[in-house]
Amino acid sequence: MATSTTIPAANLAGVHVTGRFQLALLTLGVMTTYYAGAAKLGAALARDGDLPARLALGSEPGEVPLRGLLLTASLALVAFVVADLTGVRAAPLVRTTTGLFSAVYAVAAAALGYGWRASTALRAAPRP
C-alpha cells in the first residue's frame, strides 16, 4: 500500500512523489546532515591519531573531509541496499539509528565530563 505525503519542494517542481521513492528521498535528505557530521568527526579523530591518518584530510575548519564523506556515504549505501533487499521496514531502522546516535552522544558527553580522550590515554600507556 503506497502512501502519499506532500513534499513542498516536489510541489514547487510540479512532481507528485509517493511510495518507496518518497521514503528514499526523505531519508537521504535528512541523512546528508549526518553524513557531513560523521565525515567531519572522522577527519578530526584521524587528525588526533584515533583513526587512520588517511582520513585526516579535511579536518581543518573550512575544509571538506572528502575521504570521510566517501566512506560514510559508501557504508550508508551498503546499509540501504541490504535493508531494501532483506525487506526490513523503516520503523526498526529508525529506532535502531536513533538509539545508536543517542548512545554515541551519551558516551561522548560522559567522556568530556571526565576529561578523558582516547588518544591521550593510549599515548600515555607504556609500550611493551
Q: What are phi and psi of 62, to 5 degrees?
A: 90, -10
Q: Which residue has the higher pLDDT, 91 or 28?
A: 91
Q: What are the structural domain ranges in the chain?
A: 1-88, 89-128
Task: Give CA–CA dist 63/66, Å, rounded.
Answer: 9
**Element spanning 10, H or E:** helix 8-13
Question: Is the pLDDT higher at 15 or at 95?
Answer: 95
Residue scoring higher pLDDT (28 or 121): 28
pLDDT at 127 over 70: no
Question: Is the overall model pTM greater than 0.75, yes or no?
Answer: no
Q: In this model, does residue 1 exceed pLDDT 50?
A: no
More confident site: 113 or 92: 92
Angle at 117 between CA 111 and CA 123, to 5 degrees: 150
- 98: Cα within 13 Å, side-chain hemisphere: 6
Residue 17 pLDDT exceeds 70: no
Write the pLDDT tens digit of every residue in 60-102: 888 888 888 888 888 878 887 888 888 887 788 778 878 887 8
**Cβ-based neighbours of 92, under 8 Å, separated by 6 or more:** none
- By mean pLDDT, which of 29-38, 56-65, 69-78, 106-115 is the weakest? 106-115
Average pLDDT of the chain, as a whole number? 74
* Cell of residue 9, nine digits: 519542494
DSSP β-bridge partners for residue 4: 18
Which cell numbers hold the place of 23? 521514503
CB 36 within 8 A of CB 73: no
For the stretch 86-95, what's the b/e string if a residue is b when 16 or more beta carbons lie within 10 angstroms of its beta carbon?
Answer: eeeeeeeeee
